[in-house]
Structures are given as C-alpha cells and as structure tokens.
C-alpha cells in the first residue's frame, strides 16, 4: 500500500504508514485510483468513505485485513488469492498491520 500511494502521489520517497495521505497531496482522483488498486491487488472493495475517514496506510491496512479475515472466515477467499499477492504487497500489509497493532497496544497501555 505504501508503494501504491507513493506512486499515486508522484513522490520519490516512500511514505510512512502513519502519514496523513491528504496532507501529502492526495485528492479525490488519487483516492478512487487507490480504491481500484486495492480491489485489483487484494480483491477487497474499499469504500471511498473509509479512505477519507482513515487516511493512513496503517488504518487502511486494518480495514483491508479485517475484510480479508472476514472473507477467509466465510470461505470466500482462498489461498490462491493470497498467493497471488506480491511479496512486496504482503510486506507492506504486514508492516502496516504491525504499526496499527503497536498503536492499539499503546492506547491500551495509556488507560
């Protein structure tokens, strides 16, 4: 996901998983293109309102992961779909999910 946003925004350096995509210059066209890339890559429909409400790679990775988990639980996604993901896409997803979990764990520790 980091690579996709970096390309869509025309940046030369990768973005961080906590960077606000709109602060980096994302607009409506980039959001629509990103949603299409997520659908092509992960087989997940990511609603535009999810992107605008949670404009970080970390938050979006959580949404995609939850959708994939749900699909796996209901048997609508198989190993073939996961195997079709590139190593880079899987690495991006894992990094973003790890950052999100760390962030959630930090919140729990503050309470």
Q: Give the tens place of pLDDT for each residue, 16-44.
A: 999 999 999 999 889 889 888 888 887 77
Sign of CA dihedral 43, 81, 26, 54: positive
Q: How confident is the model at residue 83 (pLDDT cuts 50, 70, 90)?
A: low
pLDDT for 45 equals 80
Is 56 within 8 Å of 17 (Cβ atoms)?
Answer: yes
Domain 2-110: give its CATH code. 1.10.1200.10
Q: What percent of the chain has pLDDT over 70?
A: 82
DSSP 46-88: --HHHHHHS-SHHHHHHHHHHHHHHHHHHT-S-HHHHHTS-HH
pLDDT for 62 equals 87
How crowded is residue 28: how many other Cβ atoms within 10 Å of its Cβ? 10
Is 50 within 8 Å of 64 (Cβ atoms)?
Answer: no
pLDDT for 73 equals 63
Q: How confident is the model at residue 86 (pLDDT cuts 50, 70, 90)?
A: confident
């Amino acid at each position: 996901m980091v690579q996709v946003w970096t390309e869509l925004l025309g940046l030369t350096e990768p973005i961080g998983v906590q960077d606000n995509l709109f602060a980096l210059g994302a607009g409506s066209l980039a959001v629509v293109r990103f949603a299409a890339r997520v659908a092509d890559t992960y087989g997940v429909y990511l609603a535009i309102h999810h992107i605008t409400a949670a404009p970080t790679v970390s938050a979006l990775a959580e949404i995609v992961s939850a959708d994939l988990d749900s699909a796996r639980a209901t048997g609508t996604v198989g190993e073939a779909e996961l195997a079709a993901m590139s190593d880079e896409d899987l690495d991006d997803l894992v990094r973003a999910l790890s950052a999100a979990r760390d962030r959630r764990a930090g919140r729990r520790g503050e309470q």
